[in-house]
């Protein structure tokens, strides 16, 4: 089972990495490292050292949801909390994205 998951992630990784690069450029941030790995409880995380980790399962989700998660995590490189500034900035970058109006708290993995 893990081999099949790795193959699926491997095939989709270049397109996903291109999306991460696109959003990094738009947000003017540079993650120290971008990783894709198995995550059982979260879609992604951002460390204080600038490492952004995404769940391999995210690559199977719709592009609009991927964009939301990518933007959300990369924005943490500029704004570390989920305050009003973070929420407003996220919504400004993702106008028209249906996930931008929602919170990840309501979206379970």
**pTM of the full predicted structure?**
0.84
Phi-psi sector, 45: left (phi>0), alpha (psi -120 to 50), beta: beta
Cβ density class 62-83: b for 16+ within 10 Å, e for less: eeebbbbbbbbbbbbbeeeeee
Q: What is the CATH number of the domain that holds 46?
A: 3.30.2010.10
pLDDT value for 96: 81
pLDDT value for 7: 56
Quote the CA–CA distance of 58 and 39 in Å, as a whole number.
Answer: 10
Q: How many domains does the chain have?
A: 1
pLDDT value for 11: 80
pLDDT at 1 over 60: no
| DSSP letter, residue 55 | E
Average pLDDT over residues 8-16: 81
- Domain holding 56, by residue range, is 2-106
Average pLDDT over residues 81-109: 77
pLDDT value for 107: 55
Average pLDDT over residues 52-79: 95
Q: pLDDT tens, 72-81?
A: 999 999 999 9
Residue 92 makes CB contacts below 8 A (sequence gap 6+) with none
pLDDT at 105 over 60: no
Q: What is the mean pLDDT of the chain?
A: 86
């Amino acid at each position: 089972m893990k081999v099949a998951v790795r193959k699926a992630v491997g095939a989709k990784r270049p397109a996903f990495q291109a999306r991460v690069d696109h959003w990094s450029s738009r947000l003017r941030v540079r993650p120290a490292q971008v990783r894709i790995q198995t995550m059982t409880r979260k879609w992604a995380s951002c460390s204080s050292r600038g490492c952004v980790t995404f769940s391999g399962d995210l690559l199977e989700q719709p592009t609009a949801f991927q964009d939301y998660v990518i933007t959300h995590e990369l924005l943490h490189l500029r704004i570390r909390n989920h305050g009003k500034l973070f929420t407003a900035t996220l919504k400004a970058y993702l106008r028209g994205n249906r996930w931008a109006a929602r919170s990840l708290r309501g979206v379970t993995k």
